[in-house]
Structure 1
Amino acid sequence: MTVEHVMVARKHGGKEKAEPGASKAKTKAGSIMRSGVQSGLVRNLGSIARAALSPDAPKRSKAITGSETAFWGLVNETASTSEQERIVRIIEGYPADHLVTVRSALTLTATLAEQLFAVSQSTLLRRLKDRQRLSSVTSERLDRLASVAHLAQEVFENRDRALSWLSSPNIALGSQPPIMLCETELGANQVRRVLHALEWGGAA
C-alpha cells in the first residue's frame, strides 16, 4: 500500500477497497523482490569474503572493528552453550561465515588461517558461495579457539587486550601467538595454563 493509499484509507475510517487483482500482483512483486535480494546476497558474498580474506587487507578498519564485535558474540555464545550442544554443532559444521569473522577479527593472514583451521582459502570461498557448512575438523578448531578466547576475556577483563595477547608472540609459548596453538587440544591447554598463571598474578 502506498502513502497515498494510507492517507485515503485514514480519511475513510481505515477502510479501502482493493482493486481487482491488486493482491495477486502485490504477492508476485514481493516474491520477485525477495528472490532478487537473495540473489544479490549470493553474488556479493564472494566479493565480501575475498575482501575480508585478502592478504593485503588493512590491519584495522571499520569492517575489522565490526568483525571483532561479531567475534566476541560468537565467543560468548559458545561459552553459554552446553558441551552436548557444542558437539552437535561441531558435527553438523559451523556456518562458513564464522571463519571469515574470526580471521578478520584476529587479522590472520591466509597462510596462518589455513594452518590453524585446516581449510584452504579457495575451499572456504566455495563453501561461502554455495552456503555449505565447514567440516567438523575446522568447526572443532573454531570451537576450541572460542573457548580459549573466552578465558582470555575473563582474565584480562578487556576485549582489546585479550585480542592483542592472543595474536602476539608469547615467550612462555615458544614465541608463538597463543591462537596458533589452538590448532590442537594439547596446544590449547598450554595456552589455558598460561592464562590461569596470569589470572593468579604470574607473568607471561
Structure 2
Amino acid sequence: MANLSSQRKASFEEEILTTAAGTALARFDARSVEQLKGYGFSMDEIYRFVAPRRTLARRLENNERLTLAETDAAQRILRIGELADRVFEDRKKAQSWLRKPSRALNGIVPLDLLISETGARLVEDELIRIEYGIYS
C-alpha cells in the first residue's frame, strides 16, 4: 500500500512540475505577435524587441513558433503593456508614458528599457510606484 501511495505522490509531483515547466517553455505562435499590436506597440517596435522583420515574416509564412528568446521578449513587452494599461486605465495614456523620458528613470524613455529583462523590471517597478502613488 505504501508503495502505491508513494507512486501516486511522485506521479502527481511530476505532473505539476511538467505542467509548470511546460508553461514556462511554451513558445508563442508567430501570429500571437498580433496581440502586442493590440496593446499599442507598432510593428517597428515589435521588430526591434522581438525579432527582425524578415524573421517574423518567415515564421508567419511557415507557421512556426517563436524561439524561446523571442517568446521571452514578446512576453516581456506584453507584461509591461498590460501593467501600463492597468496603471493608467487608458491605453493612450499608457502608451504615451512608455514613450516619454521618465525623470524617475534618469531621463530614459521607458520603452527603450524593454530591450532587456533588467530594464523591463525597472519600468515595472516604476509603474507599480505610480499605481500606489509613490513618486520618485
Task: Give the TM-score normalised by structure 1.
Answer: 0.48
Structure 1 runs not aligned, ≥5 long: 1-83
Q: Which has the larger radius of gyration?
A: 1
Partner of 2:105: 173
Partner of 2:117: 185
Query: Does residue 102 of structure 1 match 2:36?
Result: yes
Instruction: For 1:197 and 1:113, locate their aligned partners in 2 and report how far apart those are by CA, in whole Å.
Output: 26
Partner of 2:89: 157
Partner of 1:195: 127
Query: Does residue 116 of structure 1 match 2:116?
Result: no
The offset of 1:149, in angstroms, is 1.9
Structure 2 runs not aligned, ≥5 long: 1-17
Q: Residue 168 of structure 1 contacts residue 177 of structure 1 at CA under 8 Å; is this kept in 2?
A: yes
Partner of 1:93: 27
Partner of 1:140: 72
Report 1:30-69 matches (<5 A): none
The offset of 1:178, in angstroms, is 1.9
**Alignment RMSD (CA, Å):** 2.7
Q: Residue 169 of structure 1 contacts residue 175 of structure 1 at CA under 8 Å; is this kept in 2?
A: yes
Task: Give the TM-score normalised by structure 2.
Answer: 0.68
Q: Residue 28 of structure 2 contacts residue 71 of structure 2 at CA under 8 Å; is this kept in 1?
A: yes
The offset of 1:113, in angstroms, is 3.6
The offset of 1:157, in angstroms, is 1.6
Matching residue's letter, 1:106: F
Instruction: For 1:177 and 1:168, locate their aligned partners in 2 and report how far apart those are by CA, in whole Å.
Output: 5
Judging changes above 3 Å, is the alpha-carbon distance between structure 1 residues 89 and 95 closer, same or farther for their aligned structure 2 residues?
farther
Instruction: For 1:86 and 1:131, locate their aligned partners in 2 and report how far apart those are by CA, in whole Å.
Output: 25
Partner of 2:59: 127
Q: Residue 116 of structure 1 contacts residue 180 of structure 1 at CA under 8 Å; is this kept in 2?
A: no
Q: Residue 148 of structure 1 contacts residue 188 of structure 1 at CA under 8 Å; is this kept in 2?
A: yes
